[in-house]
Chain A
Amino acid sequence: MLHIECPWCGFRDDAEFHYGGEAHITRPDPSTTLTDEKFSEYLFSKTNTKGLLLERWCHRSGCRRWFNVLRNTITNEILEVYPVTEKPSSKQGKETYERNWRRKSPPKKTPKTDEVK
């Protein structure tokens, strides 16, 4: 069982927490027009990393606060815990944030024939 440090309550067993999946997924601005493909990427495409992952947790059975965690998915080592509204501040956290495919300029691809313009 993971031992997670809630920023408000301290170390607790993971049974008290709720996992919230990948962190730092930007919700598309609803006022802009968005292709189905772009929207689906936001909705369905999640990073499935073997290694460092920035993810969200909620201290459900405690203070009910959401926060972000940098975790190694191989060893389950937790390297950083930081507020949900901020970016990671550790070196590895910053690297993981920048290395994520969402932050890279999208690869140019020829649109499929059935793609809605």
Chain B
Amino acid sequence: MSSQRFRLREAGRLDRNAPLKFKFDGKIYEGFRGDTLASALLANGVHLVGRSFKYHRPRGHLGVGAVEANALIQVGEGNSTEPNIRASQVEIYDGLVASSQNRWPSLLFDLGGVNDLLGGLIPAGFYYKTFMWPRKWWMKYEYFIRRAAGLGKAPTGRDPDRYEKMHAHCDVLIVGAGPAGLAAALAASKTGARVIIADDQQTFGGSLNRETDCYINDKTTVDWCKDVVATLEGLPDVTMLPNTTVSGYYEQNYLTLLETTKPHFFKSTIQQTRHRLWKVRVKQVILATGMIERPLVFANNDRPGIMLSSAIREYINKYGVTPGQNPLIFTNNDDAYRTALTMRQNNINVVAIVDVRENPDSELFRQAKEMQIPVHVGFAVVTTRGYSRIKSATIMKLSSNGKTLTGERKVLGCDCLAMSGGWNPAIHLFSQSGGKVKWNDELATFIPSEATQNVLTIGGCNGTADLAKSLKEGLQAGISAARLSGNKAHPPATPSVQEPVQSETRFVLPIPTQKNKFVSEKVFIDFQNDVTLSDIQLASREGYNSVEHLKRYTTVGMGTDQGKTSNVNALMLLSQILDCEPEQVGYTTFRPPYAPTTIGAYAGRNIGNLFSPVRTTAINPWHEEAGAKFEHVGQWMRAWYYPKVNETMRQAVDREVTAARTNIGILDASTLGKIDIQGPDAAEFLNRVYTNAWLKLPPGTSRYGLMLKEDGMVMDDGVTTCIKENHYHMTTTTGGAASVLEWLEEWLQTEWPNLKVYLTSVTEQWAVAAICGPKSRELLQELCTDIDLSDKAFPFMGYREGTVAGIKARIFRISFTGELSFEINVPRSYGLSLWEKLLDVGKKYEICPYGTEAMHVLRAEKGFIIVGQETDGTVTPVDLGMDWIISKTKPDFIGKRALSRRDIIKADRKQLVGLLADNATDILPEGSQIVEEVLPKPPMSMIGHVTSSYFSPNCGRPIAMALIKSGRDRMGQTVYIPLKNKSIAATITNVNFLDNVSK
């Protein structure tokens, strides 16, 4: 086990009494409670933690928190593993297991590193240019490219962890708990407003945890932060969410927050929540997302040990870790001097400060001089050396215009390089909200300008660098947000602040390089996507001058990093190349999520049984008891067939189908959609929504109806019954129930508001047992004595109310099988007892329950259609051969005009026909294509497809229905169904198989 060689004795706020052991790439290390994986690795001197995406260059830590672009690691083992996590965002715990990614066979010796030497051969757009030719080979190339792409490994099994969702509302949401965010929370919460404050770090404070040279009300920033946090914790209407990344900003102030719960989930045996996705509707959003430090653009700026200056300061002051013993500082501004001074205070030997500015002049500069830190003014780092860790940097004097180098090369040995290239406000969420951004010359970056939603930006996010101003903005924003969300507020006193004053920045971009014939000197812009300066230049030479094109061609700003450190540098370079203002280059739109979010968090608990509600009928317990096989129809579970012991599906279905035509079959038809229609204009309404005539339907009778969309295509069908005057009972298909009701409501409310009609869904109110077969009347007679069931008194399509097995029932004499059939409706709670009684009494008639499969076969034997099986939204009633149901005399019905459109009356439309395979044992696969002539190989021009296909025991052979071009003119014609290994010949017939096919 390695000791923590780079742990500082004095600095940092960790629990040093709680040492923790963790494993990285198989080796055991030690850290403390409060460490991130990054800080703990740095404490052990581990800089090399990954390989870059394209060139497989050795990479180390770059930043802290979400800013990290390089140190992407895999955490956890087995199915609980998660790839591509930033090492700087993983809180360590005892027993943590992590590993590096994108390397083979090992991190130190990675064969992919050959890409770095071949760099010249694989420039931007390489894949687009190379693998497009010859076109056919793409499938072969793709296999290898896919293998090379991606970083970590996804687990293969089911994720054992639990994820949750949380919905919340608040007056003020504050994103970021740095100085500005905390000040805003303090001001807003005192008004009584409901406040949520979220920060992606485990401790609140943001930059307050990083600085030791500032004082608020004469307290250290850390102490001030602790006081504020304690105050907020005591307020009932403040919700504080550490470890929570605000990842998405959507319409009308709807935001998503990803909360990572405590880290021990990885090893716990108890199932715990791993991520919680908050969905929050907010009256007023305050963005205090702070700033992200920008890297400098120089040759070999990606070596392990080269880090952002502010990140190094944070590792020292917050985690008590120094990334190096002999650091070099490379800067274009004053802020990096704070890092140098912090290091010196911790007795770290700062090799030198290399400052591109010619005349830096500030208190910080003078302090550095006083502490005798060598400062190279007007110099720049032109290249670095070192493989698994930086060993030295070469510096040279910059010319006054910053475009060339002069004088001697000086090599400075170092084990770490702190770079500081200026600051970018984290405007991602502001951009997601639809806000516009503008270029700020002083900061050389984009800052928020016009907002389109109720959002305020403060502090670093607003481009405000100094602490006093940030606090003031925070307090003001807190007050105004509370006021805007309807709370009364008085501004609190502005605190007094001491902080170092900073002078101007000199932007030199890129740092000039010296031509080197022997070694490839790469200048990285985007570390995560391995985009270099020459890639940007190449893209522009090839005409990709729009910022959106540049992004897609070079991949700058893509990946999980989304350009946090790279975007502004890339845009500035493009504007230089194009010789225009960065404002004109513009900015790519940021999209959610701000940081990677696990799919599990989006799914939450909506998995397995909770994925979608399951609807069951009142008779379902009987089906389960009877050992039925089930099928899903929409959300419904329906009995599919009832196999007896040792029976195959085919045998069971054949038995059920035969019974329904010889004795009695019984079907649970409760799932059919049912709509209760009442009102004086109900008949007129039905007349307009169905294609046939409805005005003269007498009470006690039913009629079959077909509904069309306005384009003339079949939408749904069903039987509607006149219960009594102005009262109708409509049935719809099982799957169409909800959409039909909505469709009817739409027409009633928007097109015909003058019609007095009222619709109620009663699908769940009625349980339906359909008995069918020659003996069904005899059975019903035994259980129902108050209705005359004779054919004369209760004819086909009749409706009667009475008592069945002692239960008040509605009986419909309708049939979906062609047999004598009664559909008995009873209130749902009586459904099971009715069903059991029917089966009990029906025993002597050899009653046989049948499922949906038998129902399909039975209706197909008679050539009855199923909407959604024979139709697909492109089929008219004429195509189905159902001209008889279209009224010629009605002035209007939905879809009427469309039926006379040119395209609809064409003769070669696909029409519904029967298909009988010539070989009476072949069952055509449903969905098969139909051709006139079989060619040796595709393409063959197809004339239609098989819509339904079954073995019909009552016909003694397979039957099929199909939609075929001009099908009705092809009666008797032979067509072919080409399958993988054979072709089946079939003859076109009428669809009423039962009455036309002799057994």
> Which residues of chain B from 728 to 754 have a CB within 8 Å of any chain A CB?
742, 745-746, 749-751, 753
If A3-B254, A30-B896, A85-B753 touch, whether A39 touches B901 (CB-CB below 8 Å) is yes
Cβ of B110 under 8 Å from chain A: no
Residue numbers in A under 8 Å from B750 (CB-CB): 20, 56, 66, 84-85
* Nearest CB of chain B from residue A67's CB, rounded to whole Å: 9
Would B251 and A64 count as touching, CB distance under 8 A?
A: no
The chain A residues found within 8 Å of chain B, CB to CB, are: 1-3, 13, 18, 20, 27-28, 30-31, 34, 36, 39-40, 43, 56, 58, 60, 64-66, 74-78, 84-85, 116
Would A66 and B745 count as touching, CB distance under 8 A?
A: yes
Would B745 and A30 count as touching, CB distance under 8 A?
A: no
* Nearest CB of chain B from residue A100's CB, rounded to whole Å: 17
Give CA–CA (A36, B892) in the complex, Å. Answer: 17
Contact partner of B746 (CB less than 8 A), chosen from A66, A85, A116, is: A66
* Nearest CB of chain A from residue B444's CB, rounded to whole Å: 29
Cβ of B59 under 8 Å from chain A: no
Give CA–CA (A116, B750) in the complex, Å. Answer: 31
Q: Which residue of B lies closest to A78 (CB)?
A: B252
Contact partner of B891 (CB less than 8 A), chosen from A2, A31, A77, A85, is: A31
Q: Which residue of A lies closest to B745 (CB)?
A: A64
Further contacts, 6 of them, CB under 8 A, given A76-B252, A84-B753? A2-B252, A3-B251, A28-B897, A30-B897, A43-B898, A77-B452
> Which residues of chain B from 750 to 793 have a CB within 8 Å of any chain A CB?
750-751, 753
If A31-B891, A36-B902 touch, whether A84 touches B749 (CB-CB below 8 Å) is yes
Q: Which residue of B lies closest to A14 (CB)?
A: B251
* Nearest CB of chain A from residue B454's CB, rounded to whole Å: 11
Give CA–CA (A75, B901) in the complex, Å. Answer: 39
Q: Which residue of A lies closest to B759 (CB)?
A: A64
> Which residues of chain B from 426 to 485 have a CB within 8 Å of any chain A CB?
434, 452-453
If A1-B251, A27-B751 touch, whether A20 touches B897 (CB-CB below 8 Å) is no
Q: Which residue of A lies closest to B904 (CB)?
A: A36
* Nearest CB of chain A from residue B795's CB, rounded to whole Å: 34
Contact partner of B901 (CB less than 8 A), chosen from A31, A36, A56, is: A36
Would B252 and A40 count as touching, CB distance under 8 A?
A: no
Give CA–CA (A116, B897) in the complex, Å. Answer: 15
Cβ of B681 under 8 Å from chain A: no
Cβ of B638 under 8 Å from chain A: no
Contact partner of A39 (CB less than 8 A), chosen from B252, B279, B898, is: B898
Give CA–CA (A65, B751) in the complex, Å. Answer: 13
Cβ of B281 under 8 Å from chain A: yes
Would B892 and A30 count as touching, CB distance under 8 A?
A: yes
* Nearest CB of chain A from residue B572's CB, rounded to whole Å: 28
Cβ of B710 under 8 Å from chain A: yes
Q: 1/0 contact trace for B866-907 toward A, CB 8 Å?
A: 000000000000000000000000011000111001100000
Residue numbers in A under 8 Å from B452 (CB-CB): 75, 77
Would A65 and B901 count as touching, CB distance under 8 A?
A: no
Residue numbers in B under 8 Å from A39 (CB-CB): 897-898, 901
Residue numbers in B under 8 Å from A34 (CB-CB): 897
Give CA–CA (A47, B310) in the complex, Å. Answer: 52
* Nearest CB of chain A from residue B787's CB, rounded to whole Å: 36
**Size of the chain B interface, CB-CB below 8 angstroms:** 26
Residue numbers in A under 8 Å from B252 (CB-CB): 1-3, 76, 78
Cβ of B654 under 8 Å from chain A: no
Between A and B, 19 residue pairs with Cβ closer than 8 Å are A1-B254, A2-B251, A3-B253, A20-B746, A30-B892, A30-B896, A31-B891, A36-B901, A36-B902, A39-B901, A40-B901, A43-B710, A64-B745, A65-B749, A66-B745, A75-B452, A75-B453, A85-B750, A85-B753
Cβ of B250 under 8 Å from chain A: yes
Cβ of B521 under 8 Å from chain A: no
Would A58 and B746 count as touching, CB distance under 8 A?
A: yes
Contact partner of A43 (CB less than 8 A), chosen from B434, B453, B711, B891, is: B711
Q: Which residue of A lies closest to B710 (CB)?
A: A43
Residue numbers in B under 8 Å from A116 (CB-CB): 902
* Nearest CB of chain B from residue A97's CB, rounded to whole Å: 16
* Nearest CB of chain B from residue A115's CB, rounded to whole Å: 10
Q: 1/0 contact trace for B247-288 toward A, CB 8 Å?
A: 000111110000000000000000000000001010000000
Give CA–CA (A56, B250) in the complex, Å. Answer: 21
Q: Which residue of B lies closest to A74 (CB)?
A: B434
Residue numbers in A under 8 Å from B434 (CB-CB): 74-76
Contact partner of A76 (CB less than 8 A), chosen from B251, B749, B902, is: B251
Residue numbers in B under 8 Å from A40 (CB-CB): 901
Would A58 and B742 count as touching, CB distance under 8 A?
A: yes
Would A18 and B891 count as touching, CB distance under 8 A?
A: no
Give CA–CA (A33, B409) in the complex, Å. Answer: 89
* Nearest CB of chain B from residue A103's CB, rounded to whole Å: 18
Give CA–CA (A75, B452) in the complex, Å. Answer: 7
Give CA–CA (A3, B896) in the complex, Å. Answer: 38
Residue numbers in A under 8 Å from B891 (CB-CB): 30-31
Give CA–CA (A85, B281) in the complex, Å. Answer: 31
Give CA–CA (A36, B903) in the complex, Å. Answer: 10
Residue numbers in A under 8 Å from B901 (CB-CB): 36, 39-40
Residue numbers in A under 8 Å from B281 (CB-CB): 3, 13
Residue numbers in B under 8 Å from A3 (CB-CB): 251-254, 281
Give CA–CA (A9, B710) in the complex, Å. Answer: 30
* Nearest CB of chain B from residue A38's CB, rounded to whole Å: 10
Residue numbers in B under 8 Å from A43 (CB-CB): 710-711, 898
Give CA–CA (A18, B738) in the complex, Å. Answer: 12
Give CA–CA (A77, B453) in the complex, Å. Answer: 9
Give CA–CA (A2, B251) in the complex, Å. Answer: 5
Residue numbers in A under 8 Å from B453 (CB-CB): 75
Name the residue among B251, B710, B711, B746 with the largest chain A CB count within 10 angstroms. B251
Would A66 and B898 count as touching, CB distance under 8 A?
A: no
Give CA–CA (A75, B751) in the complex, Å. Answer: 30
Would A18 and B898 count as touching, CB distance under 8 A?
A: no
Q: Which residue of B lies closest to A1 (CB)?
A: B254
Residue numbers in B under 8 Å from A30 (CB-CB): 891-892, 896-897
* Nearest CB of chain A from residue B895's CB, rounded to whole Å: 10
> Which residues of chain B from 574 to 613 have a CB within 8 Å of any chain A CB?
none
Residue numbers in B under 8 Å from A77 (CB-CB): 452
* Nearest CB of chain B from residue A2's CB, rounded to whole Å: 5
Q: Which residue of A lies closest to B761 (CB)?
A: A64
Give CA–CA (A74, B452) in the complex, Å. Answer: 10
Residue numbers in B under 8 Å from A27 (CB-CB): 751
* Nearest CB of chain B from residue A83's CB, rounded to whole Å: 9
Residue numbers in A under 8 Å from B742 (CB-CB): 18, 58, 60, 64
> Which residues of chain B from 326 to 365 have a CB within 8 Å of any chain A CB?
none
Give CA–CA (A65, B891) in the complex, Å. Answer: 28
* Nearest CB of chain A from residue B754's CB, rounded to whole Å: 10
Residue numbers in A under 8 Å from B892 (CB-CB): 30-31
Q: Which residue of A lies closest to B254 (CB)?
A: A1
> Which residues of chain B from 490 to 513 have a CB within 8 Å of any chain A CB?
none
Q: 1/0 contact trace for B690-733 toward A, CB 8 Å?
A: 00000000000000000000110000000000000000000000
Residue numbers in A under 8 Å from B896 (CB-CB): 30
* Nearest CB of chain A from residue B355's CB, rounded to whole Å: 44
* Nearest CB of chain A from residue B48's CB, rounded to whole Å: 44
Residue numbers in B under 8 Å from A20 (CB-CB): 746, 750
Give CA–CA (A55, B892) in the complex, Å. Answer: 26
Residue numbers in A under 8 Å from B251 (CB-CB): 1-3, 76
Residue numbers in B under 8 Å from A56 (CB-CB): 750
* Nearest CB of chain B from residue A77's CB, rounded to whole Å: 7
Q: Which residue of B lies closest to A44 (CB)?
A: B711
Q: Which residue of A lies closest to B251 (CB)?
A: A76
* Nearest CB of chain B from residue A35's CB, rounded to whole Å: 10
Give CA–CA (A78, B452) in the complex, Å. Answer: 12
Residue numbers in A under 8 Å from B253 (CB-CB): 3
Residue numbers in B under 8 Å from A28 (CB-CB): 897
* Nearest CB of chain A from residue B705's CB, rounded to whole Å: 19
Q: Which residue of B lies closest to A66 (CB)?
A: B749
Residue numbers in A under 8 Å from B898 (CB-CB): 39, 43
Q: Which residue of B lies closest to A71 (CB)?
A: B251
* Nearest CB of chain A from residue B736's CB, rounded to whole Å: 15
